[in-house]
Amino acid sequence: MQIKILVVDDSASDRLIIESMLSEYEILTACDGLEAINVLEKHDGINLLILDLNMPNMDGFQVLEYLTGNKRYKKIRTIILTNYNELDNEIKGLKLGAVDYIRKPIHMQSLKARIDVHVALLLTQNALVRQLHEKDVTFETIFKKVPVGIAISFIREGDSKYYSINPAYENITGRGKEELLKLGWASITHPEDIDEEIKNFERLKAGEIDSYSMDKRFIRPDGSDVWVRMTAATLALDDSHSFNYIVLCDDITESKLLEEKLEESERSKSTLLSHLPGMAYRCEYTKEWTMHYVSAGCQKLTGYPAKSLLYNKDLAYSDLIATEYRDLVWNEWGRVLKERRDFSYEYEIITATGERKWVLELGQGVFNQNGEVEALEGIIIDISDRKEIENILKYNNIHDRWTGLYNREYLVSVLEKDLKLKKDMKKAIIGIDLSMVPVTVANYGYQYSQNLIRKVAKALNQLCSDNCILFQPREHRFIIYIYDYKDKQELIDLGNVIVDTLESLLVTERIGGGIGIVEIEPGDHDIDTESLLRRAIIASEKSMSLFGKDFEICFYDHELEALVNRERDIVEALNLIALDINTNDDLFLQYQPIINLKTGSIYAFEALARLKTEKLGLVSPLEFIPIAEKTKLIIPIGEKVLINAFEFLNTLKEHGYDDISVSINISVIQLLNPDFTIRLFELIRQMQVNPKNIALEITESVFASDNDSINNTLDRLRKTGIHIAIDDFGTGYSSFSREKELKADCMKIDKCFIDELLQTELDKAITGDIISIAHKLGHYTIAEGVESHIQLNYLREFNCDRVQGYYISKPLDEIVAIQFLKKYGK
C-alpha cells in the first residue's frame, strides 16, 4: 500500500524539511488553505493530512470545516500543527476522524514518530482486511517487522476471540504475550494515565469516536517507565467481525525527554516574553508585514489581541505603523537585509485607542537555502517612557528653562547648518542687549528682574514666524535669527517693531538697551558662528553707547568691522606684552608734572601708560585700557605699569629728588583682585621705594562695585603712607555725601569743570565750590586739564592745592621729565 500524505504549511522551509524526512512516502504539499482544498479535490486516496492552523488566505480551521462536509475525507487522519494553547473543544466540535496535534515550534523527531504511528495503523488495518478476505501474507509480514508495537483483538465467526501482539509491542512493554493477556493493559499503565485512557476507551467502545491517541506510560517489570505514543482504533473489517480493536504504540521515551527540554525552553521563552514590554513576532517580508506568529504582549502593546494580526485576520501590522514611518521602516529593512545585518529602528505606532506609541523594533531576516528572504523574526518593544525622558532632556538641552526660548547651543547649531545649506538665501541676526535689567534687582529683587525678562521674551516671541526665530543665548541677551527676507528695509521695519515693543515694556523701568543687526553676506559663509554672535554683541553695545537709554537699531558695518579688527590687534599686542614676548610692540610710561600752587614747585608726576604697536602705531589709553580691563589683561599690564613707575621713582632718588611723588592709575579689576595688595607691598619691598612717594588714583565709579570691601583695601594702603586720590571726580558714581565716607586723601577735579571756566562767567562756575567742599571733607585738591592762565588764576584764587595740564606741561618721556624737573626745580 502506497501511503499518500498532504503537508499544508505556509513555511516553505518547514514543507521542505518534512518532505525530505518522509521521502519513503508519496508527499503532496500546499502553502495555504485554498491550495490544500484544490489538492484534496484533485487527488484520491490521501491517507494523512499534516495541517498548520495558522495560514494566510484560508486558515487550518476552514480546511477542517471543509473536511467535515466531504465524504471522501471526512475520516481522514490529521496531524495539526499549531501554536494555540486551547484546541480540544474547537476540534471536537468538528466531528473529524483521528486527530492528533503538535505544538509549534515543531520538533521534527516527534512529528516523525507521530507520522510513523499513523502510517503503521493504516498499513496494519489494510493488511488485516486483505488477510481476512484474500488470505494475503502481507499482514503477517507487516505485523512482525514493523518497529511499532501492535496489539489486535477481534471476535471471529463463531464468537471465537482472537488476540495478537507483535514482537515490537512485547519489547516496548518488557513483557510476553501471555503475561500481557494475564495482567491486562490497565495494570501495566501508570496510575497518573489510567483515568484518561479509561475515559477514552469507554468513548471508543460506545462508538462516540473511531479512535483516540494519547501519550502514556507503561510500567515495565523492573519498575521503570516507558513513554509511548498510543493510538487505539476500531478495525473496520466487515459486518461479521464486531468489537474489533487495534492498538499501536511507539516508544517515545527519548523524544519525550527532548520535548520536556523543549517545553522548558519554551516556558523560559514564554516567561521572558511575558515580561517583555512589547511583543515577539515572525512575519513575511511584505509591505503588509503579514504575521505568522505574535506573542501575547501584542495586546498590551497595540490594544489588539494577537489573533487579530495573525495572517492579517482583522488588520495588518502595517496598519498600526504611523503613516509617516511606513516607507522609512520598509526602506530600512531593505537596507539591512541586503547587507545581512540585524535590524534596529525606532518609530511610532497607532494603538487601538488611537494613542501614539514609540517602539523599538529589533529583528533579523530568515533566509532559505537560495539566499532568499523567507521571513522576518524579532521583537517590538514599547519605548514611549524612554522617548518621553529623551524628549524632556532634549527640550531642556536646547531651551532656556526660565523663558522656554531656544538657547545658545541650539542657535549655534541652526546657524552652522544654515550657513552650509542656505548659502544663497538672505540671512541676518538681530542682537538685543538688556544688560541694564539687573539694576532692578537692588530695588525690587532678583525675582522681579527675572519676571521682567520672561515678559520681554513672551512679547518678542509674538513677533516671530516660520522664518524668524527667537533665541536667548544669555540671561539678558536675545537673538532673533531671520532668513529668506526681502531686503534691508524689512530688517529696519522689524527692528523698529522691536524698539516699540521694548519701549512699551521697559519705559516705566527707565531701562534702556541696545539692538544690533548683522546681515550675513553671501561671502560670509566661511565665517564661524562665534564671530557672527560677537558682531551682534558689538552692534548692540554700539547702539547702547550711541543712544544711552533710548532703544535704537545699529547695523554692523565696515566701520564696526574695522573697530573689531583694531580691537583684536590691540588684544594681541597686550597679550604679547603680558607674556614678555619680544616684539616691536611696546608699553611705556609718560609723566605729566603736578605743580603745587602755593609754592609753584613740582610736587609730583602722574604716570600715564602708553601703547605703541608696529601695526597700529600709538594707541590712546582711552582705547586700550578699557580693552585691557574687558579681557582682564589689565592685571599683568597694571603690574608692569607699577614696576616702571617704581623704577622712575628710584631714578628720581638717584638724581636727588627723593621727595617727589609718582601718581599711578589703578583699575577696579586690579583693586578687586585679592592678591593686589600683597603683590604691591612685595614690589615696594623688592624695589625699595618709599610708600609715601606713591599715590594711587582710583576713579570714583570703582565704588559702585563693592564699596565696603574697596574702602577696607584703601584703608590698609593709606596706613602704609600711600596716598589715595579719587580721579575724575564729578563724572561718575559718587556724590559729596559719598565722598565723605571714602578712605581717600585727594580729590582730582575732572577736566570738564576746568573747561567750564573758559565757557561760562567765572562768578557762575561751581568749580570753586567743589574745592571748598573738598577741603571741608579733609581732602586736598588737584585740578586736571589746566590749559590757560585764566583757569590757573581762578584755581589759585579759590585755593586749589595743585594743578596739572598742558599749560604746565604735556606728558613727558622719562628723560625729558628729569630734564624738566632740573630746569624748573622746586
Percent of the chain topping pLDDT 70: 88
The amino acid at 34: L
Torsion of CA 724, 728, 729, 732, to 10 degrees: -110
Q: How far is C-alpha 359 from the geometric centre of its chain's CA atoms?
A: 16
Q: Is the pLDDT of residue 826 over 70?
A: no
List CB contacts of 822: < 8 A, sequence separation 6 or more.
655
Query: Are 798 and 767 spatial neighbours (Cβ–Cβ below 8 Å)?
Result: yes
pLDDT at residue 99, as a whole number:
76
pLDDT at residue 131, as a whole number:
56
Q: What is the average per-residue pLDDT within 315-337?
A: 96
Q: What is the average per-residue pLDDT within 619-624?
A: 91
What CA–CA distances, in Å, run from 373 to 48, 286, 338, 369, 493? Answer: 30, 10, 10, 10, 62
Q: Please report which confidence band the pLDDT of residue 139 belongs to, taking 50, 70 and 90 as the band edges.
A: low
List CB contacts of 81: < 8 A, sequence separation 6 or more.
9, 50, 51, 52, 53, 101, 102, 104, 106
The CA distance from 677 to 189, in Å, is 106
Residue-wise pLDDT tens digits, 356-405: 999 999 999 999 888 899 999 999 999 998 888 888 888 888 999 889 99
The CA distance from 659 to 746, in Å, is 18
Q: What are the percentages of helix, strand and coil residues in the chain, rounded to 5?
A: 45, 25, 30
**CA-based torsion, 419, 423, 425, 428: positive or negative:** positive
Which residue is it, cell 573697530?
Answer: 563
pLDDT at residue 604, as a whole number:
95
Residue-wise pLDDT tens digits, 331-366: 999 999 999 999 999 999 999 999 999 999 999 999
The CA distance from 140 to 683, in Å, is 125
State the cell numbers at 62: 476552514
Strands 245-251 vs 149-155: parallel, antiparallel or unpaired: antiparallel
pTM over 0.85: no
Residue-wise pLDDT tens digits, 284-305: 999 999 999 888 889 999 999 9
Of 370, 320, 363, 371, the C-alpha closest to 345 is: 363
Q: What is the average per-residue pLDDT within 145-156?
A: 75
Other C-beta atoms lying within 10 Å of the C-beta of residue 654: 10
Which residue is it, cell 512485547?
Answer: 170
User: Phi first, then psi: what are they for 471, rounded to 5°?
Assistant: -125, 160
Other C-beta atoms lying within 10 Å of the C-beta of residue 213: 22
Strands 617-619 vs 602-613: parallel, antiparallel or unpaired: antiparallel
Residue-wise pLDDT tens digits, 198-228: 998 888 888 888 788 888 999 999 999 999 9
The CA distance from 569 to 575, in Å, is 10
- HSE of 566 in the Cβ direction (CA atoms, 13 Å)? 14
Q: Please report which confidence band the pLDDT of residue 803 belongs to, taking 50, 70 and 90 as the band edges.
A: very high
pLDDT at residue 799, as a whole number:
94
Other C-beta atoms lying within 10 Å of the C-beta of residue 672: 14
Query: Are 749 and 781 spatial neighbours (Cβ–Cβ below 8 Å)?
Result: yes
What CA–CA distances, in Å, run from 511 to 302, 439, 446, 477, 734? Answer: 57, 9, 16, 14, 21
Tell me how long the chain is: 826
* b/e 755-769 (16+ beta carbons within 10 angstroms → b): eebeeeebeebebbe
Q: Please report which confidence band the pLDDT of residue 628 belongs to, taking 50, 70 and 90 as the band edges.
A: very high
The CA distance from 543 to 550, in Å, is 9
Query: Are 129 and 237 spatial neighbours (Cβ–Cβ below 8 Å)?
Result: yes
- Using H for helix, E for strand and C for coil, what is the string for 552-589? CEEECCHHHHHHHHHHHHHHHHHHHHHCCCCCCCEEEE
Q: Is the pLDDT of residue 65 over 50?
A: yes
Q: What is the average per-residue pLDDT within 132-145?
A: 61
Which ranges constitute the DSSP H helices of 135-250?
138-145, 167-173, 177-183, 191-205
Strands 694-699 vs 723-729: parallel, antiparallel or unpaired: parallel
Asked if omega into 636 is within 30° of 0 (cis), the reply is no
The CA distance from 726 to 703, in Å, is 10
Of 315, 88, 378, the C-alpha closest to 214 is: 88
List CB contacts of 49: < 8 A, sequence separation 6 or more.
5, 6, 8, 67, 73, 76, 77, 78, 79
Residue-wise pLDDT tens digits, 580-595: 887 676 899 999 999 9
